[in-house]
Amino acid sequence: MSRLSDFPITQRWPAKNPDVIQLYSLPTPNGVKVSIALEELGLPYEAHLVAFARDEQMTPEFLSLNPNNKIPAIIDPDGPDNAPIGLFESGAILLYLAEKAGKLIPNDPVGRYETIQWVMFQMGGIGPMFGQFGHFYKFAADKVANNPYPVERYTNESRRLLGVLEGRLRDRKFIMGDEPGDYSIADIAIFPWVRGLSVHYDAAETLRLTDFPCVSAWVERCSDRPASVKGFTVPATA
């Protein structure tokens, strides 16, 4: 598609500023990864709310951009070869934005692949496992009231993953290193999910998060950044 207006999603969510990146999202742990990255990178963007309460992720317009009916998704009107590019999957979007801006990912190949490795650790481990934990522990608790197995399984798996992070962060301020410049898309991919264990699932006690002091200090460090504070509120839900 050669113009932003060629993307059917723009019929339901029209662009007020068609020259900037269009973000289709909701402030969930997956959604805020992208708003936080956009804020950190200083890339201009326009955010559109995809309201789950109205099942908007299932509309033909949204599915035309992401057939997998999940936020976040973006269109960059100024993609490769000066043509618009549409993308879904937050890990792919983070990589795209970091490489477009030349920030939040190291330039050297080893550091770059190491960063991608930790982004994938979030995409394949933290996201799906914490997500299942939250489902059974909070959102579908009534459905498993007589069966402790799902909560036990995902509690154990979530704690195991937190242990992996604790090991990584024991001697580093950020996933990729100790310097302020080491803050990367690996941090941005992971910390909103760990924050969500308390903020979205109220599970700090059940998961005994005090066993992971380096992880907790890192979540605070990342959450306090101005770009994170702003990114948590995008798109506005009211």
Ligand X SMILES: N[C@@H](CCC(=O)N[C@@H](CS)C(=O)NCC(=O)O)C(=O)O
Whether the bond into 109 is cis, omega within 30 of 0:
no
- Residue 204 Cα distances to 10, 56, 113, 164, angstroms: 40, 31, 32, 17
The footprint of ligand X on residues 15-44 (CB under 6 A) is 28, 30
Report the residue number, 65 or 173, with the smaller CB distance to ligand X: 65
Site string for ligand X, 86-125 (x = CB under 6 A): ---xxx-------------------------------x--
Report the residue number, 135 or 230, with the smaller CB distance to ligand X: 135
193 touches 127 (CB < 8 A): yes
Q: Could you say whether residue 135 binds ligand X (CB under 6 A)?
A: no
- Dihedral angle sign, alpha carbons of residues 99, 101, 102, 104: negative
Report the residue number, 86 or 127, with the smaller CB distance to ligand X: 127
Q: Could you give phi then psi for residue 176, rounded to 5 degrees?
A: -100, 5
Q: Which two tokens stand for residue 216?
A: 């907790």
Number of amino acids touching ligand X (CB under 6 A):
13
Report the residue number, 71 or 173, with the smaller CB distance to ligand X: 71
Report the residue number, 70 or 159, with the smaller CB distance to ligand X: 70
12 touches 18 (CB < 8 A): no
Nearest to 140 by CA among 121, 157, 154: 154
Q: Which stretch binds ligand X (CB under 6 A): 63-71, 104-112, 141-149, 161-169?
A: 63-71
Name the site residues for ligand X (rule: CB under 6 A): 28, 30, 52, 57, 69-72, 89-91, 123, 127
